[in-house]
Each structure stands twice: as C-alpha cells, then as structure tokens.
C-alpha cells in the first residue's frame, strides 16, 4: 500500500527541522536522495548534497553556521509524483546573530513512496515555475 505523499513530505520537513538523518534514510528517502537547500542555491548557484554522506554534511554545515534554522510549512500541494511546499525559513546565524525570515517554495520529488530529491527556492515564483505552476 502506498503512503500519502503529503504525509511523507510533512515527515521529511520534520526530519529536516530535527536534522534527523537516520530517520530520513530509514523510511522517508531513497539512498541516493539529493537535497538542494534554498540558501545554498542562493549563495553558490545551485549546489546540493547527495546521499547519506552529503546529508550528514548538510546537517553539520547547518549546525556550524546557524544558531537555529527551521522550515515552517504553510501549505502542501500534492502534484502526483511530487509535492509542493510553500512556507517560510526562519533562523538566526551563528556568530552574527543575523535573523532570517524568508518565504520559500520547496519541491519534493518522489520515486514510489520515498522522496529522492528536494529543491528549495527562496523566490516562490521561481519555485512555482519549477513545479510547472504559476502564481
């Protein structure tokens, strides 16, 4: 029986907020999962993290650079083989204390009932276009 993709997307978001790499790979993501965070995309033009080793590096990078960083989803849309998430990223930089509070659009791509790729866009219009939608 296949799982509800929106429910999986909610659980992936929760795992992200807890930096729960074990939980992510145990039951939510494929072994070759790719993560393209919005802040990284904005800084270096699209870099991402791949597989368990990459996601562990992402979690370590986040702990190193952010006092806190949370995804606050506001809306989930089931698009068949992917789920669109609209929300806000809120956090505070480590050291600088600089606050971040920005809208985002995220796309979770699925293979079966597991996520294989996540792309986050800090420009919601760009994220909607990537999902094949418009505002």
Of residues 45, 50, 25, the one with CA closest to residue 35? 50
Distance, in Å, from the CA atom of 33 to the CA atom of 26, rounded to the nearest integer, reads 12
Q: What is the mean pLDDT of the chain?
A: 90
* Percent of the chain surpassing pLDDT 90: 76
List, for residues 112-129, the tens digit of each pLDDT value: 999 999 999 999 999 999
Specify whether the backbone of 99 is left (phi greater than 0), alpha (psi in -120 to 50) or beta: beta
Under CATH, which number does the domain 5-130 receive? Answer: 3.10.450.50
**What token pair was written down for 2?**
């296949």
Q: How many CB atoms lie within 10 A of CB 41?
A: 18
All structural domains of the chain with their residue ranges: 5-130
Q: Using CA of residue 7, residue 23, residue 88, residue 105, what is the dihedral sign?
A: negative
Q: Using CA of residue 91, residue 76, residue 16, residue 120, what is the dihedral sign?
A: negative
- Residue 37's pLDDT band (boundaries 50, 70, 90)? confident
SS3 59: helix
List, for residues 45-71, the tens digit of each pLDDT value: 557 899 999 999 988 888 888 899 999
Which pTM was predicted? 0.89
């Amino acid at each position: 029986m296949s799982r509800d993709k929106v429910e999986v997307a909610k659980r992936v978001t929760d795992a992200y907020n807890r930096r729960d790499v074990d939980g992510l790979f145990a039951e939510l993501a494929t072994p070759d999962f790719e993560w393209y965070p919005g802040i990284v995309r904005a800084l270096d033009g699209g870099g991402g993290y791949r597989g368990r080793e990459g996601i562990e590096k992402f979690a370590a990078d986040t702990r190193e650079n952010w006092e806190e960083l949370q995804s606050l989803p506001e809306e989930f849309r089931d698009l068949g083989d992917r789920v669109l998430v609209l929300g806000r990223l809120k956090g505070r930089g480590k050291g600088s204390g600089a606050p971040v509070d920005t809208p985002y659009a995220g796309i979770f791509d699925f293979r079966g009932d597991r996520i294989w790729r996540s792309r986050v866009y800090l420009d919601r219009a760009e994220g909607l276009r990537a999902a094949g939608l418009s505002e």
